[in-house]
Structures are given as structure tokens and as C-alpha cells.
Amino acid sequence: MSTPAGPVTKPRVVVIALSYKLTTRVKSYVQDLVDAGVDVDLLVAESSSTQDADLDPQVRVHRVLDVEASDITIRRIERGLLFTLPAKAFGKARSLTVGRPALKKVDAGLALTRRAQSKVSKGIHKKMFWPTFRVMRPLILSRRGQGPAVDLDLAHADRIVAADQPAVPLAWRLSRRYPGVRTTTALDRKPYVGDK
Amino acid sequence: MTASERRPRLLYLAFYFPPSRASGVYRARATANHFAAAGWDVTVFAAPLGFLYDVIGSTDEKLLDTVDPRITVERPELDTFRWEHELQNMSWFRGTLPTVSKKFFDWREARQFPEQYVSWARSSVAKALKLHRREKFDAVLATGNPFSAFAAGWAIGKLAKIPYVIDYRDSWTLDLFKDEPAYPPKHPTWKWERRVIGKSAATVFVNNALRDWHADRYPKAADRMMVVPNGWDPDLLELPPAEPAEPATTPQRPLKFGYLGTVTTHQPVEEMAEAFRIARAHPDLAGAELNLFGHLGFFKHSHASFLPRLGLDAAGQVDPATDAGLRLRGPVSKTEVSSVYADSDVLVFLAAGGRYVTSGKIFEYMATGRPIVSVHAPDIAAREVLEGYPLWFHADSLDPEKLAQSFVEAGQAAREAGPEVRAAARRHADTFKRDTLLAPLEARMRTLVRPSTVQEVSS
């Protein structure tokens, strides 16, 4: 009499990739895991992160945010102050001056100021805001990502993989919260794929 | 009270040292053993075991047993920041601000020395000075790579006021495969090389071509430069009988050619395959096989690109349409090397690079006393050690027709060479035994030791 075999549990890996787009390296890693029969949860930054990624349908994709540009307050404020508000203000002002010969000089002055303002805004965005935000972004995502990550039942995962640099702070926090789960930055296929 | 001679104390900076089995480890092992046997009190500074086991993962415990027990091995710390992947082991700073911490780490490394092992060099200096305060070292010998060992040798020499010697086991600023400088002119590496060569008591190279290239760049240090070729280690190589197990003269027995080592993209593999295909048309080489023992490429998937170049199909099997007589035999363990040599009638010296490349493999090849066929650029530095080897066959060209002729001549020699020729071949190889080659370096270093430091008063 043979004993019926118990249900075979598939290994489960949670991959966190928080760059704006999935890199080929991450996509190929995820695909290799799926091909090896691993259950893969992929946590990405926003909806557009997996656009055109052509992921295997077996990969369960989760998102920290819907649209980063509008879901992160500081980005909303920055865009409003540097671009939206000035655009509206200049638009309103010029609507009063355009086509009026008496205000021709004022209109030209406004157009010039608008161009200068646009240049300054772009400069501030590129040279000041963006370098600072790039450093802060992983931290912001690590705070916002804790909820979606915890929902993934991490205690029963085999390993958590921080697949890119922005994913490190979130994965580091999770490594403190789940000390029993191996949390790594190595895209190591060996335990699942072997030496093929 | 009598005055007795204290053994001279050597500090040897050799990052790759047993149990590592990196290619450069054999020279380091032999050097340390040679100095210990010559009466030096040797302390080796090597890579931390954690790095060898967990990061590199390429070790050989048996090699550790071949290190002279009189040698003291210390393992200064190495900052494993760049190799650390486990989040649990990362600090708050790195875990929270990964980009900033990486930039800080890179900046800190770059301002010290342009190489990733600089933290080991820094720990080596600190440890050396501590040990030197306890009991004085008489000289420092540093082998590279890593080349931060040279910087450590220079710093220890300066701070402890003792002579240091640097051993270019590998090329640093010269790209061996392009025969041109490996760094742009303003790169900080040049400043460091000028500094370490300028102040060294001697600078050692593995062949004359490399010595000359450096002598041209640093003429003031030229008279302190010397050559210590790599050689072979009799204690690690069990020599096969001078004659193959089954004599090649046995009627009808096809000849067995052998290549032992990793096949790399820089090597002229197509020329070798084509030449062997042509040579097999000769009656003496009818049915001959060229067995390749080793990996194809350095990486797991790199073998695929080599197979068609070798006339083999995607599975590494013989493709009858393109068969050139090449057979993949896979990698062999160190213990099987001797039987590979014993089973081969002729050894094929397939080598990449040009006039600065010697290749360590050639010394073992010569030690077997087997005919050797050269397949490499004609002006390769290995010529200088092969000159005088009576069973060396070379076309001085990579033209397949000419190479094929060398294969045929080597095959004929395998069938016809008598015991005298084979003994002469082995005698030639004996001049390249590691101990023989290291003797001038040991003698040079002995002259650097101040006599007063090796005289101690004892009761």
C-alpha cells in the first residue's frame, strides 16, 4: 500500500524592483524563476513600471503607487509651484494683453518673463529638485511600500529580493521585520534553477 | 653571551594564497616556501578566509597542506561592502541611503588607491606596523594583483624604514591583449606605479618583454628590475613517464594531441581547428584527435559561442560535416592532470596575446618532455622559454597551412623521438623549476637586509 504524497509546495520568491522601468536583468531573473516553477510576486513602483514589460502571466504584479507623479505629495507640490501655477498665472496675464496694441510692450515683457521663468523652473527641477528627490525616492517608496509588501504574506516567502538600488530601503526594513526570511540583493538563480 | 644570527624576517604580501586556487596562487605559494626553506622567517599577509569561501568560492584545501608549516599566515581585514548582498548584514546607513552610502564608499576608496582591494592594503599596513613594533621585519615583498599590495608595500617600507620589493606576477598598467597602456594618461594608477617602482629596492617581472616595457617608462629604476619567470612546481606535478603509456610507434595507433586549460575568446581557436583539420589529412595523423581538457570560456553560458568555432555542434558533439578532430573532454581536477599529460602524445600550446604573454601552462608542458606545438602569435614572450626545447614545433605564423605542418612534424616526433631527445627536453624544463628561478630573487633580497638587523645578542 502506498502512502499518498502530500501537496508539493512551490518555493515562493518576492522580488522588489522600484526603478521606473523593469530592467532586462530583472525581467530575465523573474522569467528564469517562473520557468523553474517558482511562485513569483513582483512589487513595482507604479502602474507604468511594467508597461511593455511583456511579463509571464504567472508573475503576480503588485504596485506601491498608481501614478508616482501624482501620488507623491512632494512631486505634486513641486510640479504645481514650478510649472502649473506659473503657467496659469502667465496664461491669465497674457490673455489680458495679447492682441491689444496699447499693451504690446507689456505683452512682450510678459512673454520674455515667461520664457525666463520656464528656463529657471526647468533648471531648478533638473539641478536641485531631481538630484535630491532621487536620493529621497527610495525612502519615500520604502514608507509607502510597507503596506503593499506586508500584504504579500512575507513570513511564508523563501526569500525577498531587492532587485535594484531603489528597492534596498524597503527590503532592508522588511529584513528587520522578517529576520527569518532571507533578504538579499543577489539575483541568484542557483537554488531554484541549479547549474543549468 | 654569544652573538648568534637571527633569521631575516620577510613580510610577504600575497592576497591570493592557499587555500585560494586562483591562478596566481602557485607563484605566491612557491615564493613563500622558497624563502622559508632558504632560512627566512616568513609572514604572509593573505586574503581573509571569509572572502575566499563566501565571495570567490574557489578554494583547494589540499593546497594549504603544501605550505611550509614554518610560515606564519595572517589575514588582514577586507571591507566587503561591494560583495555584500545580504540585507540583514547591512548597516542602517547603507540600508536606508544605498545610493549615498555607495557614493561615499567609492569616493573613499578612489581617494586612497584606484582598486577595489584597497581596504585590505590599508589593514595590511596597520597590521604590519603593529607586528613590526613587536619584532622587526627586514624586508617586504609584495605580489600583484591586487596591485594595492604594491601600495601597501610602499607604505610599510616608508613607515617602517625597511626595503620593499614588488613582484609583477600579473600586468598592471599594460593591456597584454592589446599591447597598449591599460589606463588613460591622467589616470591615478600612473602616479601610483611611478611611486611604487621609484622607491622599490627591486621590481620583478615574469618575462623580459614586460621588464623592458617598464624599463622604458621608468628608466631610473631600470637597473633595479629583474625577471623571475613563472616556472613549474615539482611538488605539485606528478611527472608522467617520458614515453606515453602506449607508445605512439604502435602501428596504426592514432595520435592523441592534448590541450589543457580554459579556452578563451582571445585565443586563435579557429586557426587551431582549421590547422588540425588540414593536418589530419597527412598519413601520420590519420584519425588523430585533439582533446581539449578544461572549460570553454570563463562563464557558465560562454561555451555555446565556442562550439561552432571548434567545429562542434550545439551539444559539443562531433559534427561530421565540420569535424576537425577536436574533442571536448571537459575540465579535469588537479589530481587528473598528470594522467592527461601521460595519455597525450603531443601537447598543444594554444595561447592568446602577443609579445608580453608567457602563460604559466608552458612550463608544465615542457616538464612532461612531450612534443609541443605552438598555436599563438609569433612574437609571444613564451618564445624565450621555449627556445632550446628540442621538441618544440612552431610555425611562427597563424596561417592554418603552416600550423598544420607543425602539427604533422610534432606528430612525427611523437612517433620517432628517442629517449635521448626526451631526456634533453626534460633537462631543458628542469632549468624552469620554480626553486631554481626564485634563487636569484632570494639572493637579491638577502643583500637588502642590513647585517646589523640579523645579529642579535643571546645568552
Q: What is the 3-state secondary structure (H, E, C) of B244-290?
A: CCCCCCCCCCCCEEEEECCECCCCCHHHHHHHHHHHCCCHHHCCCEE
**Total structural domains within chain A:** 2
Q: How far is A194 from chain B (nearest CA, A)?
A: 12
Inter-residue contact B239 to B327 (CB < 8 Å): no
Q: How far is B88 from chain A (nearest CA, A)?
A: 6
* Lowest model confidence (mean pLDDT) among B55-59, B349-353, B444-448: B55-59
Look at residue B413 in the predicted model and tell me its pLDDT: 93
For residue B248, name the pLDDT band (cuts at 50, 70, 90): low
Per-residue cell: B169 = 606576477
Residues B307 and B454 in one domain: no
Chain A CB contacts of B94 below 8 Å = 168, 172
Residues B403 and B440 in one domain: no
- Per-residue pLDDT at B369 exceeds 50: yes
Judge whether A94 lies within some domain.
yes
**Mean pLDDT, all residues of chain B:** 89
Residues A75 and A129 in one domain: yes
Judge whether B243 lies within some domain.
no
Residue type for position A122:
K
- Rounded Cα distance between B301 and A111, Å, is 60
Look at residue A12 in the predicted model and tell me its pLDDT: 94
Cα dihedral sign for B105, B110, B115, B121?
A: negative
CA distances from B394 to B225, B258, B378, B382, B411 (A): 30, 16, 8, 12, 13
Look at residue B272 in the predicted model and tell me its pLDDT: 94
CB pair distance less than 8 Å for B95 and A134: no
Q: Which of A134, A149, A164 is the last residue of a domain?
A: A134
Judge whether B251 lies within some domain.
no
- Per-residue pLDDT at B116 exceeds 70: yes
Judge whether B320 lies within some domain.
yes
Residues B286 and B392 in one domain: yes
Question: On the CB side of B45, how many CA atoms lie within 13 Å of its CA?
Answer: 30
What percent helix, strand, coil does chain B show, rounded to 5?
45, 15, 40
Task: List, in sequence order, every residue forming a beta bridge with B5; answer none if it has no partner.
Answer: B455
Residues B31 and B146 in one domain: yes
- Rounded Cα distance between B19 and B29, Å, is 10
Residue of A16, A139, A140, A172 for testing the chain B interface, max B β-carbons within 10 Å = A172
Q: Which of A100, A115, A134 is the last residue of a domain?
A: A134
Per-residue cell: B326 = 577536436
Chain B CB contacts of A134 below 8 Å = 99
Residues A89 and A58 in one domain: no
Judge whether A81 lies within some domain.
yes
Domain hosting B427: range is 256-432
Residues B406 and B446 in one domain: no
Residues B185 and B139 in one domain: yes
* Predicted confidence (pLDDT) per residue in A147-175, tens digit: 999 899 899 999 999 999 999 999 999 99
**Total structural domains within chain B:** 2
Look at residue B457 in the predicted model and tell me its pLDDT: 42
- Rounded Cα distance between B117 and B115, Å, is 6
Residues B199 and B329 in one domain: no
Judge whether A125 lies within some domain.
yes
Query: What DSSP string describes B371-422?
Result: -EEEES-TT-TTHHHHTT-TTEE--SS--HHHHHHHHHHHHHHHHH--HHHH
Residues B48 and B164 in one domain: yes
CB pair distance less than 8 Å for B87 and A169: no
A/B interface, count of CB pairs below 8 Å: 47
Chain A CB contacts of B97 below 8 Å = 135, 139, 169
Residues A46 and A126 in one domain: no
Residues B186 and B272 in one domain: no
Task: List, in sequence order, every residue forming a beta bridge with B2; answer none if it has no partner.
Answer: B458
Provide ipTM, 2 decimals. 0.82
Q: What is the CATH number of the domain that holds A24?
A: 3.40.50.2000
Judge whether B237 lies within some domain.
no
Judge whether A5 lies within some domain.
no
Residues A60 and A88 in one domain: no
Judge whether A118 lies within some domain.
yes
Look at residue A52 in the predicted model and tell me its pLDDT: 83
Q: What is the CATH number of the domain that holds B116?
A: 3.40.50.2000
Q: Which of A119, A134, A149 is the last residue of a domain?
A: A134
Would you list which residues of chain A are within 8 Å, Cβ to Cβ, of chain B?
134-135, 138-139, 142, 160, 162, 165, 168-169, 171-175, 179, 182-186, 195
Residue in chain A nearest B83 by alpha carbon: A186
Residues A127 and A48 in one domain: no
Judge whether A186 lies within some domain.
yes
Residues A49 and A81 in one domain: no
Judge whether B96 lies within some domain.
yes
Judge whether B211 lies within some domain.
yes
Domain hosting A87: range is 71-134
Residue in chain B nearest A139 by alpha carbon: B96
Residue B316 gets the label, from left (phi > 0), alpha (psi -120 to 50) or beta, of left
Judge whether B99 lies within some domain.
yes
Residue in chain B nearest A141 by alpha carbon: B96
Please name the member of A174, A185, A195 whose beta carbon is closest to the beta carbon of B85.
A185
Residues A106 and A144 in one domain: no
Judge whether B76 lies within some domain.
yes
Residues 15-74 of chain B with CB under 8 A from chain A are none
Please name the member of B95, B99, B102 whose beta carbon is closest to the beta carbon of A172.
B95
Q: How far is B98 from chain A (nearest CA, A)?
A: 7
Judge whether A1 lies within some domain.
no
CB pair distance less than 8 Å for B88 and A175: yes
pLDDT tens for each residue of chain A, 196 residues long: 444 444 567 899 999 999 999 999 999 999 999 999 999 999 999 999 988 888 999 999 999 999 988 889 999 999 999 999 999 999 999 999 888 888 889 999 999 999 999 999 999 999 999 999 988 999 999 999 999 998 998 999 999 999 999 999 999 999 999 999 999 999 988 888 764 4
- Rounded Cα distance between A174 and A153, Å, is 12
Residues A79 and A47 in one domain: no
CB pair distance less than 8 Å for B96 and A139: yes
Residues A77 and A101 in one domain: yes
Residues A64 and A156 in one domain: yes
* Predicted confidence (pLDDT) per residue in B140-167, tens digit: 999 999 999 999 999 999 999 999 999 9
Residues A146 and A60 in one domain: yes
Residues A64 and A144 in one domain: yes
Look at residue A194 in the predicted model and tell me its pLDDT: 61
